[in-house]
Amino acid sequence: MKRLLVATDFSAQSHPVLAWAAQFALALPAKVVLLHAQSIAYPATELPTDPMVMLAPLPDEGAAQTALDRQADDLRQQGIACETRLVSDDLTEALRDDVAETPTDFVVLGRRAEASDGWLAQLFGTSATDVVAKLNVPVLMVPAEASEGPVRRIVYATQLEWDETAVLRQTFDLARALGASVQLVKLNAPFEPNLARDEDFIADIRQNFSEESFELTTREADTVSGGLVAFAEEVGADLLILTSHHHSLLDQLITPSKAKQVLVQTTLPTLVFPLA
């Protein structure tokens, strides 16, 4: 059985996150591990008062565990195996520690609109997209505006620059489990490097997945991220799938991650597979 690690904060944003986690868990099938990370309380020694008196607010662990148990019970009532984890840590670090300790197939978390969304967010990402950059497992990002309906059409953004066979195989397996169709799209934009002949990669994909049913489209666009978001809306996609390389700070300044740019623009749930 596969394992889904699902970050929850008990806000309204948790509802679409849990709905998508449940859909994946039932289709794969998979066990769900609900994780809630609370900030660690610390003495406010920088304030002009007695640090033994002036403390940062302590999280209510009892209330958090009760909320976790309630969400877990809702999933169990749907026939989904579920565990809970309550940790005192930064969310990104809590997720990294968990996947380092236990093999995990997918991480699921939400993304709400942030004040920083704009050119800076597209360059460096938001607090949620930062998680994607630091994890070496597939991450399903569920925006606050995401529909909770079933997945019927998946759009996979292929780059046709390196071997994506392993990720494509996982994509087709996921689509089969969800009962969804797959549409591959390659976006060509001005000033984007073309490191290899598209025709060679397309031929390899068609040969390696000759038994799969899919469409492959090439589209011109002003930007890769904007073109992908527009294409997904045009074809009525329910889920986007991307691949992403981990970028250093210098890489981000020169060639910002396309995955991050898409994640801060789209209202569609987006699954990001890491590439070495």
If pLDDT is split at 50, 70 and 90, which confidence band does 133 have?
Answer: confident
Does the residue 55 lie in any domain?
Answer: yes
Q: How many domains does the chain have?
A: 1
Kindly give, in sequence order, each residue whose CB lies less than 8 Å from that of residue 70, ignoring residues fewer than 6 positions away. Answer: none
Task: State the CATH number of the domain containing residue 45.
Answer: 3.40.50.620
For residues 228-247, give the mean pLDDT.
88
Write out the residue range of the structural domain in which residue 142 sits.
1-146+271-276
Question: Considering the entire predicted model, what is its pTM?
Answer: 0.85
Does the residue 73 lie in any domain?
Answer: yes
CA 183 – CA 91 distance, rounded (Å): 33
If pLDDT is split at 50, 70 and 90, which confidence band does 85 have?
Answer: very high
125 φψ region: left (φ > 0), alpha (ψ -120 to 50), beta (else):
left
Kindly give, in sequence order, each residue whose CB lies less than 8 Å from that of residue 156, ignoring residues fewer than 6 positions away. Answer: 168, 171, 182, 183, 184, 185, 240, 241
Does the residue 266 lie in any domain?
Answer: no
Q: Does the pLDDT at position 1 exceed 70? A: yes
Does the residue 179 lie in any domain?
Answer: no
Does the residue 11 lie in any domain?
Answer: yes
Does the residue 242 lie in any domain?
Answer: no
CA 160 – CA 197 distance, rounded (Å): 8
Does the residue 216 lie in any domain?
Answer: no
Q: Nearest Cα to 244, choosing from 261, 228, 257, 229? A: 257
Does the residue 231 lie in any domain?
Answer: no
Model confidence over 19-70: pLDDT tens digits? Answer: 999 999 999 999 999 999 987 655 544 444 444 444 444 558 899 999 999 9
